[in-house]
Amino acid sequence: MQRRAKIVATIGPASASEKTLARLIRAGVNVVRLNQSHGTREEHRRLIRLVREVSAEAGRSVGVMVDLMGPRHRLDHFEGARVLKEGDVVGLGASAEADLPLDRDMVRHVEPGEQILIDDGRVQLEVRSKDEERIEAEVIVGGAVSSRKGVNLPDSRLPFRISDKDLSDIRMAVEEDADFLAASYIGTPADVVQVREASRDAGRSLQIIAKLERRRALDHLDEIVLESDGVMVARGDLGVEIPLHQVPVVQKRIIESGWRHARPVIVATQMLESMIEHPRPTRAESSDVANAVFDGAAGHPGDPRDGLRRGDPVGAPFDRAGHRRPQPGRFHGSPGCLPPAVDAGVRLHARIAVDARAPARLGRSLREDGPGGLPPRRGRRDGRPATPGRQSGAARRHDRAADG
């Protein structure tokens, strides 16, 4: 049976050998991802060539995705760690008097009332005042902060820029004939255009996967999906910029947008993360993978950089989920399994769907049709069609029997 999802696997030191790559490809990996935030450019060149050799030997077509670091923002260097307590007021900026050193460009784009999240949101600040050189912010959630920790500004309108490092990585991807560029921290469709033009200037227009990890991107979701060749639900930074309880809802919204605009969607971050250390995924991870597949997304297992067990192959959970769709008997609200009439209603934002054949059975018909479409129209015993909008006696008896 054909698997309905594709698998994207991040390659790192623990999985970079020829033997391990061959094993991953045999297990069902469709695309390998090379994270440009780690490793050297020469290491990535070697890996791309090795993937091409191993996939050719296996008789498989395996894509290569070069994941750009993007405009990542961090605290500047300082000595030691600083403990921030709730209610403290701290200064951030480029001046020597600042408690936490921050790039001047970030200071310029932050406004009073906006949040500053440090170290994946573990420390939360709120801006009280600012001038050209310095921000005064109150500590909302405290904790220890050390040099070079990541900074997220979910409320700010930071401009998107392609760094010199990203330009060099794009040139490397084009020279090594990679297939995809994953563009980090996309906020508007114009950001996708910038990356595409940089790829074209480097010699070839690679397919652009827009990583949706900023709150701002959600305001331009459909436009970004249309401008890109595919999108990634980057749940790591996205889960920092929006409340965690909103991430599953946003994930489904992004997948639905991909379906409407015929763009593939990759669900990323912590899928099968425990399999870095253990031979089997957790039950929560298995459900996570299955729901992503049922919704119509491709998968993205956890990064096998730090370890790779010899147990369950990386593709097995995707195979098991991808070979089974939800069974009739329940209504599943994803674009991949909606019956045609309900799907049309969802796309047209209809408030109610009416089954003219049996209005009283509307609720159950929506639950029971599953992936097979609307149930066939029931007729009279003599084969003639029933009166439109009414059930035949045989249909009513069938329904009473089904209801027990």
pLDDT at 376: 40
Residue 170 exposed, middle or buried by CB count within 10 Å (0-12, 13-18, 19+)? buried
Q: Is 85 a catalytic residue?
A: no
Are the C-beta atoms of 299 and 3 separated by less than 8 Å? Answer: no
Q: Which one of the listed residues 6, 130, 196, 211 is annotated catalytic?
A: 211
Whether 211 is catalytic: yes
The H or E element spanning position 293 is: helix 283-295
Residue 76 lies in a domain: no
Decide if 283 is catalytic: no
Is residue 194 within 8 A of residue 45, CB to CB? The reply is no
Domain boundary among 126, 152, 178: 152
Among residues 74, 165, 309, 325, the one annotated as catalytic is 74
Kindly state whether residues 305 and 211 are assigned to the same domain.
yes
Q: Is residue 92 part of a domain?
A: yes
Query: What integer pLDDT is reported at residue 372 of this predicted model?
Result: 35
Regarding whether 200 and 271 lie in a shared domain, the answer is yes
250 and 168 both lie in a single domain: yes
- Tell which of 152, 186, 205 closes a domain: 152
Claim to verify: residue 272 and residue 174 sit in the same structural domain: yes
Q: 67 and 98: one domain?
A: no
Residues 221 and 362 in one domain: no
Q: Does 26 share its domain with 174?
A: yes
Spans of the chain below 70 pLDDT: 1-2, 4, 298-404
* Domain ranges, residue 268: 8-71+160-322
Q: Which of 6, 10, 33, 216 is catalytic?
A: 33
Q: Report if residue 366 sits inside a domain.
A: yes
Which pLDDT score, from 0 to 100, does residue 103 have? 87
Report how many domains make up the chain. 3
The verdict on 205 and 268 lying in the same domain is yes
**CB-based contact 10:314 (threshold 8 Å):** no
Do 9 and 29 meet the contact criterion of CB atoms below 8 Å apart?
yes
CA distance 221 to 387: 45
Q: Is the distance from CB of 292 to CB of 260 less than 8 angstroms?
A: no
What is d(CA 219, CA 253) in angstroms, rounded to the nearest whole number?
Answer: 12
CATH of the domain at 67: 3.20.20.60
- Alpha carbon separation from 358 to 87, 205, 384 (Å, rounded): 61, 53, 17
Give how far the C-alpha of residue 343 lies from the chain's centroid of Cα atoms, to the nearest Å: 23
| Spatial distance between the Cα atoms of 286 and 118, rounded to a whole number of angstroms | 30
Helix, coil or strand: residue 398: helix
**Is 165 among the catalytic positions?**
no
Distance CA 144, CA 139 (A): 12
Catalytic residue among 130, 196, 216, 269: 269
Same domain, 308 and 224: yes
Q: Is the dihedral of CA 291, 294, 296, 298 positive or negative?
A: positive
- Res 351: pLDDT: 41
Give the per-residue pLDDT at 96.
80
Q: From 271, 288, 322, give the residue that closes a domain.
A: 322
Nearest 5°: phi and psi at 143? Answer: 160, 180
Distance CA(216)–CA(287), nearest Å, equals: 29
Whether 266 is in a domain gets the answer yes
Domain harbouring 136, CATH code:
2.40.33.10
Pair 140, 180 in one domain: no
Q: Is residue 330 part of a domain?
A: no
Q: What's the pTM?
A: 0.74
- DSSP secondary structure code for residue 379 in this structure: B
Residue 274 lies in a domain: yes
Same-domain check for residues 193 and 316 = yes
Q: Would 328 be classed as within a structural domain?
A: no
Residue 335 falls within a domain, yes or no?
A: no
383 sits in the region (left: phi over 0; alpha: psi -120 to 50; else beta) called left
Q: Where are the alpha helices (DSSP H) in 142-233?
A: 164-175, 189-201, 215-218, 221-227
> Within this chain, do residues 314 and 227 fall inside the same structural domain, yes or no?
yes
